[in-house]
Amino acid sequence: MRLPLLKCSSSRAASFFLLFHFFGFIIYDMEIFKNVAEYYDELYPVSEDQKNFYKNETKSLKNPVRFLNIGCGTGTFEIYLSKLGADVTGLETCPDFIESANRKSRTMLMAVRFFQMSYLEMARYLGKSFYNVISVLDGRIIFIHDKTLLAKFFYDCRQLLSENGKIIISLPNFEKYDSENFELPEKESIRVKLFSGIRTNQSGKSEMFQKIATGNGKILPVAENVPVQKITAGQIRNLAEKSGFESVRFYSGFDYEPLKSDSDRVVAVLS
C-alpha cells in the first residue's frame, strides 16, 4: 500500500514547532490548553449522523479510502475510519492531543498515523494528489484568522487531493448572529460544560474565549483573546471557486438538512 509522502518523521516534524501553531495563531501557554484535553472525547463525540455522512460521501470510492484529517484532536474519529479499512492521516498541533491519539492507536494494526504538524506545513511534507477526502471539523478552520493564509489553505488542500477528491468542513454558522459579541452553543458532557464565545477587540478583529465548568463548580480557562475569523458559507464558496473546486454543497449538519439562516452549524462539502 502506498503511503503519503512525508519528508520527515513525526518526531522530527515536531521540532519545527517550538512555538506551537494552532491553526493560525501561536499558543504561548500550552498549560491552559491542557484543560480541555482530558474532556475532548466527551465534548466532541463522533455521532451516528457523522459516521453515516462519511459513509455516504465515500461510498463511490475504492478501498482503502485515503483521509487527511486536519485538527484531528485525540484521534477518535480517525481510528474509527481506519477500523473500516481506510488509510488515515491525522494532523494536530497540541502535544496532549497527539499523545492521546498515538496512545489509542499504539497496539492497533491499522493504517492510521498522527503527526504533530501545522496546516502551514502540510503541503510541504505530505504527498500531493494523494488524499480522497480532507476534513477540518469542529470549527477548527476559524483559527486561520489571516485571509491570505486561509486562501493558501484552500489552495494547498486542492493540491493534496486526488482527482475527484473532496473537502468536508464543519464550523459555526456565523451568519446566525447579528451582534459582534456573542456566545456559541454550549457543549456538555456528564462531567463538564464548555462555554465558547466571540467578541470584537478594539482593533475590530474577532477573538474567541473558552472556558470549562467542571461538575464540582471549578472554572478552567481554555482560550482567551484568541484570534479567529468568522468564516461564512459565502466566503467558503468564493475560496472554493478560486481554488479550482467545481461544486460546493452546504448543510446544517451531518444529517443532510438544508442550511438555514438560523442553523447553529455549517457543514460544507467541496469537490
Residues with Cβ within 8 Å of residue 32, at least 6 apart in sequence:
221, 222, 223, 224
Question: How far, in Å, CA of 111 to CA of 1, rounded?
Answer: 9
Q: What is the mean pLDDT of residues 18-35?
A: 45
218: three-class secondary structure by DSSP: coil
Q: What is the pLDDT of residue 22?
A: 43
Query: Does residue 5 register a pLDDT over 70?
Result: no
Q: Per-residue pLDDT tens for 51-110?
A: 999 999 999 999 999 999 999 999 999 999 999 999 999 999 988 899 999 999 987 778
DSSP codes, 124-192? HHS-TT-EEEEEE-TTGGGG---HHHHHHHHHHHHHHEEEEEEEEEEEE-GGG--SSSEEPPPEE-SSE
In the predicted structure, residue 125 carries a pLDDT above the cut 70: yes
- Cα-flanking dihedrals φ and ψ of residue 67, to 5°? -105, 140
Cell, residue 239: 475560496
Q: The whole model's pTM is what? A: 0.89
Lowest model confidence (mean pLDDT) among 11-15, 27-31, 167-171, 261-265: 11-15
Would you state the pLDDT for residue 33?
60
Q: Is the pLDDT of residue 8 over 80?
A: no
pLDDT at 7: 43
70: cell is 486536519
pLDDT tens digits along 190-227: 999 999 999 999 999 999 999 999 989 899 988 889 99
